[in-house]
Amino acid sequence: MSDKIISLFRKRLAREKGAVKKDWGGRVAVALAYPNYYRTGMSNLGFQVVYHLLNSKRNIVAERFFLPDDTEMSLYGEAGKGILSLESQSPLHSFDLAAFSLSFENDYPNILKILDMGKLPLLSNEREEHHPLVMAGGVTTFLNPEPMADFFDLFLLGEAEGVLDLFMERYIDARGAGEGRQETLSMLARDVPSVYVPSFYSVEYRGDGTIENREPLERDIPEKIEAARMPPGKPRIATSVIQTPETPFAQRVLIELGRGCGRSCRFCAAGYVYRPPRTYPKEELLATVGEVLNTNDRVGLLSAAITDTPGIENVMELILEKGGNFSVSSLRADSMTENMVGHLKAAGQKTLAIAPEAGSERLRKVINKHLTEDQIMQAAAMIARAGEFNLRLYFMVGLPTETREDVDEILELVKTMKHHIVKESGTRGRIGRIRLSINCFIPKPFTPFQWFPLEQVPILKEKQKWLKKALRKEGGIKVSFDLPKWAYVQSLLSMGDRRVGSILLSAYQSGGDWKQACRFSDVNPDFFVHRPKGLDENLPWDFIDQGLYKEHLIKEYKLALKAKESDTCHVGECDRCGVCTVGASAGK
């Protein structure tokens, strides 16, 4: 065992505030793993929420694992030992459960790296009785777990607050009864509605490669798996429980202002699988923020739609009145106010971000953005008047029905925004920088755009090249792009079925050579990435019950083709999507 690794981890723990250290005696030991670096994992509020939920139980001890960074990896190489937990520096294979929190498909290869370093077989069918059960939760699992089906013993689908207690109770029951590995999995699959055990299902394919059917292999195993939801009543407002200087949110307490979004953008998975969107009463938010400020004066406010939060201006005012400091993510251009911008300036935020997503009014209607050019310009002018903010703008290329004229409109929109900003702030002799982040559209399950393909990689590259050249001529505008080749990989892992697991394994074993893995695969990856799907097709994720009517998604898909917007969410007042309807189920 490496003394250098132990020393590094102990120093890290000493810099943290809020970590839990428990004796293992008589407790179920859970290895809670985030498949990316420590600084990334500790910035994830969902990961911290699960850590808190587990360690709040007297009979459970949860310790953290992360993908080693370069320094840590070299220390492990010197020691020749397996990966260790942060809290007690215990090896992964010594835990009862290895639970991964999955937020991004591009982290999937890191899962295999952690399993490998933990001396665990990568494939679930190669694990034996003495190995921990390997499980996963997180948003990508209840979008589409199938590309990872060969590597996990089970998935826990949905929001942790709605199912984790029941899952751990049943697991502890099985453990106390001395059940073996398979018997434990059977008990969990039968007793916990949100448990999905891939090995308990067979999948048959048609000659054209699409799914014919999928059937449970055991009695009483459900055909559909229900994605858990936050329980009704008054759920605790999620806040981070550990503060550390080693993250982008250094020493900030993260506070969740709401979950989901009612704007109904057709590309956004979070806007569909976190339905109905939830906001907290203003009084509860103010009470939670006030409580946090008693011990920490730096907070990060998190929500899919910060400016839509009831009482958000009051929250900002409270933080400033108490001498605190706060940061936010992107803002909705149409619900931003002068007061909000002023509060952000007083808090010292240097950059404000808004997301037009598309340059043309037509394409914003296709994606159901509910955002006009006038509203965008008003927001830009408002930011400029406040003084010296940098402005970050988010756009996508490759959106469904996109034409070259739509891409041209990105340039025209940015030029017009720059003109407004110069006009509003030029008298002060300085304007903030404009930064563009332009990413490739990637289709996601459970959205109206799940039937669309990723645009061809050469076309995406050509659009990026044109925009880069055109924007360079404007001056004062910085632009960054994602790489189409990685958009391809993410689409493959987002939209694939369990056959994609062999490609992932090959890519990992070849040191990350996805090109080689795809070239020598028995299944053509373009089948999942570049093929438009039929509206009546049995999709890889159709076995998950999100409460959404499939007919609603189809209706939204057809409206997109007509460039027509639909209404935003009216929680509890309609039954359009099915989530607010008693007894609604997916595919209904």
Mind listing the pLDDT tens digit for each residue in 281-323?
A: 999 999 999 999 999 999 999 999 899 999 999 999 999 999 9
- Residue 1's pLDDT is 46
352-401 per-position pLDDT tens digit: 999 999 999 999 999 999 999 999 999 999 998 887 789 999 999 999 99
- Residue 279's pLDDT is 86
For residue 2, pLDDT over 90 is answered with no
- Residue 427's pLDDT is 57
- Residue 80's pLDDT is 84
Whose tokens are 């400091």? That residue is 325
For residue 128, pLDDT over 60 is answered with yes
Ranges of beta strands (E only) in 433-561 are 434-440, 477-481, 544-545
- Residue 428's pLDDT is 55
State the Cα–Cα distance between residues 116 and 93, nearest whole angstrom.
Answer: 11
Residue 293 sits at the vertex; the CA angle it makes with 289 and 297, to the nearest 5 degrees, is 125
Query: Per-residue pLDDT averaged across 139-155, rounded?
Result: 98
- Residue 583's pLDDT is 42
- In sequence order, the β-bridge partners of residue 298 are 325
What is the number of other CB atoms lying within 10 angstroms of the CB of residue 340? 20
Tell me how far CA of residue 167 lies from CA of 130, 190, 228, 254, 508, in angstroms. 20, 11, 11, 26, 31
Sign of CA dihedral 480, 482, 483, 484: negative
State the Cα–Cα distance between residues 437 and 480, nearest whole angstrom.
Answer: 5
Residue % of the chain over a pLDDT of 90? 88
Tell me, what amino acid is at 258?
G
What is the number of other CB atoms lying within 10 angstroms of the CB of residue 283? 11
- Residue 584's pLDDT is 39
587 confidence band (pLDDT: 50, 70, 90): very low
Q: Under a CB-based contact definition with an 8 Å cutoff, are residues 434 and 476 in contact?
A: yes
Q: Under a CB-based contact definition with an 8 Å cutoff, are residues 436 and 356 in contact?
A: no
230-266 per-position pLDDT tens digit: 887 766 899 999 999 999 888 899 999 999 999 999 9
509-537 per-position pLDDT tens digit: 999 999 999 999 999 999 999 999 999 99
459-504 per-position pLDDT tens digit: 999 999 999 999 998 888 999 999 999 999 999 999 999 999 999 9
Residue 215 sits at the vertex; the CA angle it makes with 506 and 581, to the nearest 5 degrees, is 105
Q: Map out the domains of the chain as residue ranges.
A: 3-226
The number of CA neighbours under 13 Å toward the Cβ of 245 is: 5
- Residue 183's pLDDT is 97
Query: Per-residue pLDDT averaged across 562-572, rounded?
Result: 94
CATH T-level topology, domain 3-226: Rossmann fold (3.40.50)
Query: Per-residue pLDDT averaged across 419-430, rounded?
Result: 72
State the Cα–Cα distance between residues 464 and 462, nearest whole angstrom.
Answer: 5
State the Cα–Cα distance between residues 289 and 299, nearest whole angstrom.
Answer: 8
- Residue 403's pLDDT is 97
Report the DSSP pairing between strands 258-259 and 133-137. Answer: unpaired
- Within 8 A by CB and 6+ apart from 146, the residues are 198, 496, 497, 498, 500, 540, 541
Q: What mean pLDDT is reported for the chain?
A: 94
112 confidence band (pLDDT: 50, 70, 90): very high
Backbone angles phi, psi at 479, to 5 degrees: -135, 140
State the Cα–Cα distance between residues 524 and 502, nearest whole angstrom.
Answer: 12
For residue 588, pLDDT over 80 is answered with no
